[in-house]
Structure 1
Amino acid sequence: MEFTQLTLAITISIIISALLTAACLQSMKLIPDIKYPVNEYRSISGARGLAAFFVYVNHAPSMLTNMGYTVPGVSQWGWIYANLGSFGVQIFFCITGFLFFDRIIKCDGKLDWNRFYESRIRRIAPLFYFVCIIYLVIVFVSNMSLHIDKHDMLTISGLITFGFIDSSMTIGGFKLYPLNSVIWTLIHEWRFYFVLPLIAYTYCNKKYGMPLLVVAVAIAVVDFKNSAVVCWPYFLTGIVVAILANRKYNLSKTVKYLMAALALACFVVTSGIMVDNGYHWSRFILSSVFFACIVLANPFYMHFKPMRYLGEISYSVYLLHLPVLYLSIKAIGTFVDISNLSQNEYWLIMVMIAPVVVLVSSLSFRFIEYRYMKKK
């Protein structure tokens, strides 16, 4: 494993900066206090909040390279920043699989699918398309023109369809990758939503449900062996953990403490492990064990209110942190020479931008996301 004082200091300071900002905004009641019906899964919200800022930590140093800057010593912070990025995405996938299969279990597969897909569209689309408008505004300001050709139309089509239509993601020669390099995960989310009715049907069929789950695990093993980046098994992890959680095992305090400690151990190993592929089978095991322990043990350290606050705004953080990073670096670049920044100076800038991301995400949650949510 690889840990240095500097990489740990950078990562921890960014997370603390975000948590302190969340605590301040929470005391100001900037966003509504949402009452969730499944309070026994409070640790899920805390995990979601951390996952969102793990992705921020991932993109903080790589943003310079994506924007075309060459800053020696800044573009790489060691393995921890890359590991946390993939770890955050994997936890998001596990949470998705868990929450929706948990719902299927509780209603015995009898979901109102029209209402389900309407709620998913209302939850995901408004903010996503708002952020796409931000992309177009940045392109227009950068190029001062919008001469649209067929390649640009293909990119716009790709944005409208959440990335399902493959394109170069360029408009007028402007590469959108520094702004939207996270949207590839939405494709996997929508694919899971599309197959969820089949999963529900399989679950209700007691004769074939368990054998098909075993087959899915076998396919996952083969896929990890033959594919470079494998994402769908993380939804499978969520499904398996949902099944275990609904068995209502009466775990002793000692077992829960041991599971909480195991979750922390998995996190430490994941953060410092040196692997070329963040979606390798070994990472899948670490992420899956971490997620299972967090849900089943429900450790107290995941109930920290600022973490749960970040969990509420995590979708906004996920989509908006890249535009905020991009615009912030552009603005700072008008006053200082970005290429001459030292690692410590750039680190300080990233710590200062983190509260901006939390504030902007809080506002987008309150005025965009929350308007379309139907949580009681």
Structure 2
Amino acid sequence: MLMANFSSIFIFLSFYASCFALNKLRVLPHINSETSRIGYIDGLRGVAATLVVCAHSWRISYSESFERKWFYDSLNFDHRLGAVGVQLFFCITGYLFITKLLNNKNQKWDKFFIARFKRLAPAYFFTVTILIFVTFFKSSSFGLSDVVSSIKLYAFGLLGTDLSVPGFNGTELFSVLWSLPYEWKFYFMMPAVAACLHARWTTIMAVISAVFSVLIVLYLDGSSFGALFVAGALAAYLDRRIQLNNLLLRYAIFFASLALLVYVTSLDLNNYGIGRLSVASLFFISVIVTKPKILCDSSLRFMGEISYSVYLLHILCYFFFANLFDIYLSTTTLPAYALAYSLFTCIVCSLSFKYIEHPFIKKSITAIHSGVKA
């Protein structure tokens, strides 16, 4: 029982150790040479992705080596960690793209959307193709409607997120898909946001910005996720106006907000209710204001670089790992199994980034990247 309560700790530490080793092997040599990256954002992105993996750690029970009950004992806490990860991703997206708009008044929107598509589509299409293949291979039968549903998945979830066929529910292998439409809807709003930010009259800008803040919350399917993008935008605004030089004060603010986030995460609250959203937003703003060096750790930055692939592929990796290697690890302990899975996933996602994502990333765009990247 006690071991189940630490499943997320095993996963997180295993991911960190795996990325530490892969970084030392210079699997992605460009990471330590790029100077225009925002180090603490990369590190935070890596932490967020790993928290999402922790939320799905019960899927280690795809393996027959461990009782499913071990993981269900900590399921609620793991899900809360995953919610924090998603919330941070949305905040990161809002921060990075509003910062980009503030720094560039002459954004070419055709190039913007083409660049977004090139950045996000290759790894996404790769993941969806594997998902469809696995789903139809495992199904007992499927028809034309199932084929149509599978094709709709290529629209980043905007046309639907379900892929269930007789005998197998492929949706379980891609349960993060629900979050992707929110990212794209935010991108579609960017031209309107830019018009607000660059209005000539301060009063008009203030009114339009206030209206936009309300609309973005209401437009995103009636949910409150839009508030996270707004929090990211607020962080971008504060980042240009607040500079903390007192190191002690910076760390006091950062660790206080981190302690608050951990405490609220431990409470039995709605994962995406206003309480959790507010605390996650506050924590993110504190990261932007304090710029903690701890998040610039090279292993965390490595985790951040492969975070999009991790976000997309980690559940499929659970599935393949359990089916391919379970027979060899049937007598191992949970921590060893978690380490083996984490290393497997980090290797797969590093290769995905290197050979699928990176070739489509424009070399001239290095400072600004998407926060969920999905």
Please tell me the TM-score bracket, short chain as reference: 0.7 to 0.9
Deviation at 1:263, TM superposition (A): 2.9
Q: How does 1:133-172 map to 2 (within 5 A)?
A: 133-143=129-139, 149-166=143-160, 168-171=162-165
Aligned counterparts, 1:1-376, within 5 A:
6=3, 9-34=6-31, 38-39=36-37, 41-62=38-59, 64=61, 71-77=68-74, 79-108=76-105, 110-143=106-139, 149-166=143-160, 168-171=162-165, 173-205=167-199, 206-216=202-212, 230-275=224-269, 277-332=270-325, 345-346=333-334, 348-376=336-364
Shift of 1:7: 5.6
Report if the CA contact (8 A) 2:161-2:178 is conserved: no
Number of residue pairs the alignment of both structures matches: 360
Structure 2: stretches of 5+ with no match in the other structure:
365-374
Change in Cα spacing, 1:28 to 1:66, as seen in structure 2 (3 Å) is: closer
* TM superposition shift of 1:62: 4.9
**Cα-to-partner distance string for 1:307-328 (whole Å, 9 max, x where unaligned):** 0100000001101101000112
Q: Deviations over 1:61-103 (max 9, x none)?
A: 1564899x98333323154311110000010100011101000
TM-fit CA distance, 1:295:
1.2
Amino acid at match of 1:350: A
Residue type of the alignment partner of 2:30? D
User: For residues 219 and 115 of structure 1, do their structure 2 counterparts lie closer, same or farther at Cα, with a shift above 3 Å needed?
Assistant: closer
Amino acid aligned to 1:294: V
Q: 1:180 to 1:78 in 2, by over 3 A?
A: closer
Q: Tell me which amino acid in the other structure corresponds to 2:343.
A: P
Look up the equivalent residue of 2:173 and give its one-letter code.
L
Cα pair distance change 1:235/1:200, threshold 3 Å: same
CA distance in 1, matches of 2:77, 2:266: 5
Provide the rounded CA distance (Å) in 1 between the counterparts of 2:20 and 2:182. 32
Q: Distance in 1 between matches of 2:170 and 2:340?
A: 24
Task: State which drifts further: 352-361 or 134-143.
Answer: 134-143
User: Structure 1 residue 363: deviation in Å?
Assistant: 0.6
Displacement after TM superposition at 1:349 (Å): 2.5
Q: Secondary structure of the equivalent of 2:72?
A: coil
Q: Deviations over 1:228-262 (max 9, x none)?
A: x5312111111110011122534432331221222
Q: Give, in angstroms, the shift of residue 331 of structure 1.
A: 3.3
What is the TM-score with the length of structure 1 in the denominator?
A: 0.86
Question: Does the aligned pair in 2 maintain the 1:61–1:76 contact within 8 Å?
Answer: no
Counterpart-to-counterpart distance in 1, 2:160 and 2:136: 22
Checking the alignment, whether the CA contact within 8 Å between 2:55 and 2:81 is kept in structure 1 is: yes
Query: Residues 168 and 308 from structure 1, CA distance in 2 versus in 1: closer, same or farther, beyond 3 angstroms?
Result: closer
- Could you say if the C-alpha distance between residues 336 and 357 of structure 1 is closer, same or farther in structure 2, counting changes exceeding 3 Å? closer
Q: Distance in 2 between matches of 1:326 and 1:202?
A: 46
Taking the aligned partners of 2:226 and 2:348, their CA distance within structure 1 comes to 31
Aligned equivalents of 2:178 and 2:19: distance in 1? 27
Distance 1:298 1:47 in 2: 11
Q: Distance in 1 between matches of 2:7 and 2:363?
A: 36
CA–CA distance in structure 2, aligned partners of residues 234 and 66 of structure 1: 36
Partner of 2:368 in structure 1? none
Q: By how many angstroms is 1:297 displaced?
A: 0.2
Q: Could you state the TM-score of these two structures normalised by the residue count of structure 2? A: 0.86
